Homo-oligomer: A and B are copies of this chain.
Amino acid sequence: MFESAELGHKIDKDTYKQQVPGLREALLDAQFDLAQTRKFPVIILIGGVDGAGKGETANLLNEWMDPRHIHTEAFGSPSDEESERPSMWRFWRALPPKGKVGIYFGSWYTEPVVKRVYGETDNEALGYSLEEIVRFEKMLTDEGALVLKFWFHLSKDKQRERIHSLEDNPKTRWRVSEMDKRHLKLYDKFRDISEHVLRETSTAEAPWIIVEGFDANYRNLTVGKHVLEAMRKRLDNPESRPHVSIAPPILTPVDNLHIINTLDLTQKLDKAEYEKKLEKYQGKLNLLTRDPKFRALTTIVVFEGSDAAGKGGSIRRITQAIDARSYSITPVAAPTEEERAQPYLWRFWRQVPRRGRLAIFDRSWYGRVLVERIEGFCSEYDWMRAYSEINDFEEQLAGNNTVVLKFWLQISKEEQLRRFEERQEISFKRFKITEEDWRNREKWDAYQIAVCDMIDRTSTSHAPWTTVEAEDKNFARIKILKTLCDRLEAAMKELPE
């Protein structure tokens, strides 16, 4: 894999001087078009061996292009706000919006590689991380990002030569750290593991570009031309990403037996029983959220359901039991301008709370496979891939001591009509039924199919769906409170003392 990057590539001074002006001009033009059209973001990853010109390359791109539209970031140790969230959170928050260029050092590759080299993880754990990375990058490219991954390579001899020459020069001595010297000793191990990593993560959408790092002229021209060609290709062929799914269609069960029509919507709780249980579970929830162990967890509760299914009322039965300082509620509406310039899940990632807090989502990322699917707001390909992207998101949350609860509130079509009519009689404007509610109601059957697909495809062991028979509000509220208590209790038991 690294053979071509040990050939001693070199560009002489004259050729370099002759080629650079035109290249810079073209790069600036491409960047200008990108900033004007805001068609996509450019994500440039910089990896490779020490001394092979990683920092120099980032500086070069900032010099050759307009640095005002480039964001360069090296990820050091995570801040406390970062370490309380899943490890990918800090990469999500650093993603460039459409129209901008982001240059990232090491990035999501650093931790898996370094941990494997130092023997803190085994091949299996590394493989798992790499699969996660491949899916993450696939999501980025599916969302339209141009992902360019540069790996700067030096042969063992050249690396030694480079580090010693940096050390010998008083002006550059500071650049050689103890870690560099330690890494030099681990060269062979690094090389083997890097080769494995590059092989596993070189995909059609985001291939690695390996660059021999010894000769600066060669390195600079290679990187500059790659960035230019890649940007130009995407700018001039904006429709290159797949919008038509080649997946076979999802069919409903041929006997029409599905998860929703197996629900027993006749289940009820009478008022006396309801009030007894409400007090019991609200009291329990209150105690649980005051337990010191609660502060070691993050809790995320998702509410989905048809219009008038009782989401708002159920949410209030939860918040009544909890100190207002411990929860937040995100009502999911149309994305803002900043959110539209980012991948679909970005606006939910930014709402992931710190430890010890409970975040409630009134509607959620599942809008992608419900309303957006049914209304055609995104392509079939986009909502098809959303299932696995959502599963990845929730798996990362769950892997970070986050309890993820998802409630689907189901009522019958008749009950919805009854509630709509009841609301129309009410004088409070905030409960008025809108034209849109009636329009959604016409698509009842399509929604039911989408809901069944959603539950089938995203109910996982780490983030299961709870279907809630919501025909009777009392029954629904108690089921939700009890489920929340049970899940919290179980999660707290699993925590170390």
Q: A residues near B, CB below 8 A?
A: 25, 28-29, 32, 55, 58-59, 61-63, 66-74, 79-81, 103, 105, 174, 290, 312, 315-316, 319-320, 323-325, 328-331, 336-338, 362, 428-430
Contact = CB atoms under 8 A, between A and B. Distances in A.
A323 B55 contact: yes
A359 to B, nearest CB: 12
Given A103-B324, A337-B338, A67 B316 contact: yes
A53 to B, nearest CB: 13
A325 B73 CA distance: 5
The residue among A55, A66, A312, A325 with the most chain B CB atoms within 10 A of its own CB is A325
A25 B428 contact: yes
Q: How many copies of this kind of chain does the complex include?
A: 2
B67 A319 contact: yes
Given A55-B324, A67-B324, 9 more contacts: A29-B428, A55-B323, A58-B323, A67-B329, A68-B312, A79-B80, A80-B81, A336-B338, A337-B337
A73 B428 CA distance: 29
A212 B103 CA distance: 56
A68 B336 contact: no
The residue among A67, A72, A329 with the most chain B CB atoms within 10 A of its own CB is A67
17 contacts: A28-B430, A29-B429, A32-B428, A32-B430, A61-B324, A67-B319, A67-B324, A67-B329, A68-B312, A68-B329, A68-B330, A69-B331, A72-B328, A103-B324, A336-B336, A336-B337, A338-B338
A331 B68 contact: yes
Nearest to A82: B81
B428 A28 contact: yes
**A-B interface, 8 closest residue pairs, ranked by CB to CB distance from nearest:** A72-B324, A32-B430, A68-B331, A74-B325, A58-B324, A337-B337, A68-B329, A62-B324
A315 B73 contact: no
Contact of A328 (B63, B71, B79, B429): B71
Contacts of A74: 325
B290 A174 contact: yes
Contacts of A325: 55, 58, 72-74, 105
A79 B80 CA distance: 7
Contacts of A330: 68
Contacts of A324: 55, 58-59, 61-62, 67, 70, 72, 103
Contacts of A79: 79-81
Contacts of A103: 324
Contacts of A338: 336-338
Contacts of A320: 63
A26 to B, nearest CB: 10
B316 A362 contact: no
Nearest to A335: B337
The residue among A28, A69, A430 with the most chain B CB atoms within 10 A of its own CB is A430
A472 B345 CA distance: 49
A275 B324 CA distance: 62
Nearest to A341: B336
Contacts of A323: 55, 58-59
The residue among A58, A62, A362 with the most chain B CB atoms within 10 A of its own CB is A62
Contacts of A70: 324, 329
Contacts of A315: 67-68
The residue among A66, A174, A320, A324 with the most chain B CB atoms within 10 A of its own CB is A324
A69 to B, nearest CB: 7
A209 to B, nearest CB: 19
Contacts of A71: 328
A8 to B, nearest CB: 28
Contact of A430 (B29, B316, B430): B29
Contacts of A68: 312, 315, 329-331, 362
B62 A319 contact: yes
The residue among A103, A290, A316 with the most chain B CB atoms within 10 A of its own CB is A316
A25 B328 CA distance: 23
A63 B316 contact: yes
Contacts of A328: 71-72
A324 B331 CA distance: 38
The residue among A32, A68, A81 with the most chain B CB atoms within 10 A of its own CB is A68
Nearest to A362: B68
A28 to B, nearest CB: 6
B55 A319 contact: no
A335 to B, nearest CB: 10
